[in-house]
Amino acid sequence: MGKKKLERFAEVAGFPHVFEFGFQQIKDGLKLKGKWGSDFFKNDNPIVVELGCGKGEYTVGLAQKYSGLNFIGVDIKGNRIWRGAKTALENKMNNVAFLRTRIDFIESCFTMNEVSEIWITFPDPQPQLSRERKRLTSPKFLDRYKNILKPGGVIHLKTDNQPLWEYTLDVIKENKYQLLVSTNDLYSTVSAEFTEAASIQTFYENLFSKQGFKICYLSFKFLTNT
């Protein structure tokens, strides 16, 4: 591991708004589970979670736009989280937190109805059929999100991978979830309902766009949660 990565790991470990959850904590769950609002944010504002947040561009960008909402970026790689966490700290943003953990453990970190909205931004598409269950929009993961999302809560997917976008549309249709909006070319779609998704670009999104990849986006709700 490079010196810079080690320095970032050490720095992020001392940030007051970054939390880590691993295998050793599975039995008891995260101490903040069910208490993010009361114990960390010190308010009862809605909580928005970005899964696979990477450098945290959406977490920080949305938090800057919406001071009345709380945002939590989730990723397993502390080196990536460091950038967003440092930006939030430097700008004294009190509505931002980061959680370093596997998304498989999400139910151990949030309680039922604790999350109001979920963003999944440029996840690994896991293209091999044998790895379908690892896709963050697979039925396996969606069942986990159901257990933490408030009734009527929205899930957003933003990806450069059209097969993943198409796969997710199929999952939504097969499970009779409520598709809200969808496009396979976000920046060529002129409509107010896509403004939010187009307003922030992640590091990888800029990279993919420059390489000629179209950006796909969709949002949906669980009908069982309405």
**More confidently predicted of 116 and 201:** 116
Ordered alpha helix ranges (H), 15-120:
57-65, 78-90
> DSSP for 155-204?
EEEEES-HHHHHHHHHHHHHTT-EEEEEES-GGG---GGGHHHHS---HH
Q: What's the rounded mean pLDDT across residues 187-204?
A: 84
Using 50, 70 and 90 to split pLDDT, how confident is the model at 224? Answer: low
pLDDT for res 213: 87
pTM: 0.93
Q: Where are the domains of the chain?
A: 3-225
* Alpha carbon distance 57, 63 (integer Å): 10
CATH architecture for the domain at 3-225: 3-Layer(aba) Sandwich (3.40)
Catalytic, out of 39, 104, 124, 170:
124
Residue 2: pLDDT over 80: no
Assess whether 124 carries a catalytic annotation. yes
Least confident of 7-11, 57-61, 110-114: 7-11
pLDDT band at 202 (very low <50, low <70, confident <90, very high): confident
> What single-letter amino acid sits at 157?
L
**Tokens linked to 170:** 């199929």
